[in-house]
Amino acid sequence: MLHTNLRHVLSKDNFEKLISENENVMICCGRMGPMCIPVYAAMSELENEYKDVVFADMEFDISDAEVIRNAPEARGFMGLPFTFYYKNGKTVAATSSIQSREQIQSILNKNFK
């Protein structure tokens, strides 16, 4: 499990339930590495500002993370983390590698406001 203050997605079933039961979801799939930690930190801060968005993490190396690793939107992604944004159970945006708070906010505002 990742050492963040975010909700943890621990299995495919947990993933499916999360995106099906919540209108707006952001999941950061990564490790506790230098490209991932700033994204988790930004998500933790933004969680207080975007009450209608569920912010979660998923450990990249667990087998069930294939739901994100093998998603068509992740084809060609080179760097961690893989960050996915879901609206009503459908992917509306996906990014890879480090993202600033401002970049994340831009995606949140575009897709969830």
Closest CA to 9 of 32, 38, 29, 36: 29
Partnered with residue 82 across adjacent β-strands are 29, 96
Q: Are 101 and 94 in contact (CB under 8 A)?
A: no
List the CATH code of the domain at 7-112: 3.40.30.10
pLDDT in tens, 18-54: 999 999 999 999 999 999 999 999 999 999 999 999 9
Residue 50 DSSP SS3:
coil
Cα dist from 10 to 35, 39, 48, 82, 93, whole Å: 21, 19, 23, 16, 21
The pTM (predicted TM-score) of the whole model is 0.97
- Whether pLDDT at 1 is above 90: no
Q: Starting at the edge strand that comes first in sequence, how are the strands of the sheet with 82-87 ordered?
A: 7-9, 54-59, 24-30, 82-87, 90-96
Mean pLDDT of the chain: 97
Sequence ranges of the domains in the chain: 7-112
Q: Which residues pair with 98 in a beta bridge?
A: none
pLDDT of residue 98: 97
Residue 113 has pLDDT above 90, yes or no: no
